[in-house]
Amino acid sequence: MDILVVDDTPANRKLLARALAGWGYEVREAASGTEGIEACRQRMPDVVLMDIMMPGMNGMEAARFVRDLPGGKELSIIFITALKEGEGLVEALGSGGDDYITKPVALDVLQAKLKAHARIRELSRALAERNRLLAQHNRELRREQEIISHFFERAQEQNFLPPEMLRYRASSRTAFSGDLLLSRRRPGGGLYLMLGDFTGHGLSAAMGSLPVTETFSRMAHEGLPVGVIARELNRLLNASLPEEIFCAATLLELDATGEFLGCWAGGLPNGYARTPAGEMITLGSHHMPLGILGDGDFDETLETFKLPVGTRIYLMTDGITDARGTDGEAFGEARAAAVIAEAPRGSNVLEVLQREAAAYSGRSSARDDVAIVELECQALVPESDVLADMGRGTYPVSLHLRVSANDLADGGVIRRLIDMLGVMPIVFRRRAELHTVFAELLTNTIDHGLLARGRGRDYDDAEYFVDRESRLREIGDRHVDITVSLGREREHWLLEVSVEHDGDGRAVDLSLSDDEDAHGRGLLLLEALCEDVRIENQGRRTRVRYRFEGLTL
Amino acid sequence: MATTRIQPKLDEKTQVLTITVNGAFDYDSVYAFRAAYEGHEVAPREVVVDLRQTEAIDSAALGMLLNMKRNLGLGDQQIRIINAPADVRRVLEIARFDKKFRIE
């Protein structure tokens, strides 16, 4: 510790300096107030022992100067005074002194005081360091928040719906909202909408919205059923977020005509639909929030509605329904529904709803994050660039699968084939039709080729399916070769499929087809979906060409 | 693609059986479909097949729909196929199922 002794009397100064040096302190001396200030300016000591009564500038004046120097706030100033206790001491301490000691200086008292001040200095130094660190952390946190906010805004602002169809109001208690509103157009026309509310507030609540946005967007782009999207989000939240974080959400899927609505609702307050005629329909929230149930228990069942075009759908988070009145009762779904039902035509229902809930609770601002959405059901045709996009990322590819009769008995061959080819966007678009094509090809090949069953057999008896499986196992080492080749022909994409077996029978010939018989029906489907169906190699090989109509290069 | 899930729900008051097919409705799932309409204590008077989440359909499934009609002794108006996505609906139309069932 570095101590400065300021005293105009050399004897006193030397006495103190010797004692201080003896205790191991670093000591400097100054013979006047002015000298003392100069010494402090050169290097700020930890403690100043300041005589009060000095000619020229006295100790109190010098102390005020020192305090105003850079770094002068932290040091300890101890006055040395001949004053009796009480006389002028208040003024002395008020002028910037931390303590005083009376003359003649009792050295043991001085030593004790210095130790105490050293401790205080150490504490205040630690505190200052901690404050500095805290300020630094705060700055870093604020900077991170700004960056993260930017992410969230980017994620949220990708609203692809026409503004006249979707309106919303949202307010958040903190910089980050636990609420999430996502909307995307369906590739085949129509739209998806999701309103979610993560448990908690702030960053921890908002954290989950990034992976949810990403997954929702990807699956919406693929045009998957909204129940399948809900299932995947549930799985994702279970896998990637801590247990206590989950997401109450309502997911909607509106078809291209704007009339058919599918709704998966878990954990949010009920949604409401108000038809142009004023009829109210409840979109009941029947499921558990996303991120709670395991995949096996998850229920992707939708509620489906046929609604007149122009129907307006309202979804809200519990920030609205949980608004507490003065009596402690919640605003509730019934009041929300009444506000929606009674709002005059053409009024801003969202604004009215938010105002009513706030007025009910007697607060100007909500206690929770609040989000309300209004969706007007209208026909929404696919955007033309969505169609142009479909060929992108698809390359010509050939694939050869050799599956045994045992594999066929196990099932799932078509599913895997579609999964493999489905990485090509153009195939994924048409996976439903291609599934049918592969299914008909395989069924014909298995039943009439591998198993050599007669025609006219229908799926009448329950034994049929068990029978097919057990008969396939009997000839388990026989094979079916499936060759698939995806390529371009002039401006079109084309998929050529050949299915060949090494069994005893012959695939049914098209010329024998009859749509009243199950197999005839299968071949009828093949003929309708494909442009060229051929049976070759004595009925062992069936070949088809599937053209991706409507999807040009 | 997830595996197919077929869920029957029988309303005992109205005797309406609703079967939802999630995933591919094809040869691999027709046996499960049969189980969904058979063996109910109350015989269904009407069946609603909800295909909203059906990803694909093939002739084996079509055959099974015809079998259900025959086995339950239901008429043309007593089986409704609802919410079929466009791709699935196209197959139903190619097979002229719009003449044999109520497709809504």
Contact A436/B at CB under 8 A:
yes
CA–CA distance, A181 with A337 (Å, rounded to integer): 21
Q: Give the strand pairing for A247-254 and A280-283.
A: unpaired
Question: How many C-alpha atoms does A335 have within 13 Å on its Cβ side?
Answer: 21
- pLDDT value of residue A83: 63
Backbone angles phi, psi at B79, to 5 degrees: -120, 120
The residue among B16, B19, B8 whose CA lies nearest residue B45 is: B16
The DSSP H or E segment spanning B98 is none
- Does the beta-carbon distance from A459 to B63 stay under 8 Å? yes
The H or E element that residue A180 is part of is strand A179-185
- Quickly list DSSP for A228-251: HHHHHHHHHHHHHS-TT--EEEEE
Q: How far is A126 from chain B (nearest CA, A)?
A: 60
Check CB contact under 8 Å for A522 and B59.
yes
Q: Within 10 A of B96 (CB to CB), how many other CB atoms are there? A: 11
SS3 A330: strand
Question: With a CB-CB cutoff of 8 Å, which residues 103-122 of chain A face chain B?
Answer: none
In this structure, how many other beta carbons lie within 10 angstroms of the beta carbon of residue A522?
Answer: 28
Rounded Cα distance between B66 and A520, Å, is 14
The position carrying tokens 């939240």 is: A237
B interface with A, Cβ–Cβ < 8 A, is: 1-3, 7, 20, 22, 24, 26-28, 30-31, 34, 50, 52-53, 55-60, 62-64, 67, 82-83, 85-88, 90-91, 94-96
| Shortest CA gap A436–chain B (Å) | 5
> Which residues in chain A (303-332) have CB-CB distances under 8 A to chain B?
304
Per-residue pLDDT, A227 = 92
The conformation of residue A337, written as its DSSP 8-state character, comes to H
pLDDT value at position A464? Answer: 67
A458 touches chain B (CB under 8 A): yes
Instruction: Give me B2's structure tokens.
Output: 């997830």
Which of A304, A435, A469, A470 to substitute to test the interface with B, most B CBs within 10 Å? A435
Q: What angle do CA A103, A107, A111 make, to 5 degrees?
A: 120
CATH superfamily of B5-103: STAS domain (3.30.750.24)
Label the pairing between strands A370-376 and A312-316.
Answer: antiparallel
Q: Which residues make Cβ contacts (< 8 Å) with residue A85, sequence separation at least 6? A: A102
User: How much is the pLDDT for B30?
Assistant: 80
Over residues A381-397, the pLDDT tens digits come to 776 555 555 566 788 89
Instruction: Specify the pLDDT at position A368.
Output: 65
Q: Which of A419, A459, A466 sits opposite B60 (nearest CB)?
A: A459
Give the domain ranges of chain B: 5-103
Q: Are A443 and B59 an interchain contact pair (Cβ–Cβ within 8 Å)?
A: yes
Chain A, nearest residue to B59 by Cα: A522
Is the Cβ of A411 closer than 8 Å to some Cβ of chain B?
Answer: yes
Residues of chain B positioned with their CB less than 8 A from the CB of A252: none
Which residues does chain B have within 8 Å of residue A431's beta carbon, measured at their own beta carbons? 1, 55-56
Which one of A459, A465, A516 would you mutate to disrupt binding with B, by most B Cβ within 10 Å of its Cβ? A459
User: Mind listing the pLDDT tens digit of every residue in chain A (553 residues)?
Assistant: 899 999 999 999 999 999 999 999 999 999 999 999 999 999 999 999 999 888 888 898 999 999 999 888 888 999 988 766 566 777 777 778 888 888 888 999 999 999 998 898 888 889 889 999 999 999 888 887 777 777 666 655 566 677 788 888 877 666 667 788 889 988 778 899 999 998 876 777 777 888 898 899 999 988 888 999 999 999 999 888 777 888 999 999 998 889 889 999 999 999 999 999 999 999 999 999 999 999 889 998 888 898 999 999 999 998 888 888 878 888 889 999 999 999 887 788 998 998 888 888 876 555 567 889 999 999 887 765 555 555 667 888 999 999 999 999 888 899 899 989 988 888 888 888 899 999 999 988 888 888 877 655 555 555 666 678 888 899 888 999 999 999 988 778 899 999 999 888 777 665 544 445 555 678 888 888 998 888 888 889 999 999 887 654 4
**Which chain A residues touch B36 with a CB distance below 8 Å?**
none
CA distance B96 to chain A (A): 9
Which chain B residues are closer than 8 Å to A455 by Cβ?
none
Question: How many degrees, rounded to 5, is the angle at CA A468 between CA A465 and CA A473?
Answer: 130
List all residues of chain A from 468 to 527 with a beta carbon under 8 Å from chain B.
Answer: 515, 518-519, 521-522, 524-525
Query: What pLDDT is recorded for position A273?
Result: 96
In whole angstroms, give the CA distance from residue A168 to residue A366: 16
Of B30, B53, B95, the CB nearest to A225: B53
Q: Which residues of B touch A304 (CB under 8 A)?
A: 50, 52, 82-83
DSSP state of B76: G
The domains found in chain A, sorted by start residue, are 2-125 (3.40.50.2300), 158-383 (3.60.40.10), 390-552 (3.30.565.10)
In B, minimum Cα distance to A296 occurs at B5
The pLDDT mean for chain B works out to 87
Predicted complex ipTM exceeds 0.85? yes
Task: List, for residues B67-92, the tens digit of each pLDDT value.
Answer: 888 888 888 889 999 988 888 888 89
Rounded-to-integer distance, Cα A58 and Cα A97, Å: 13
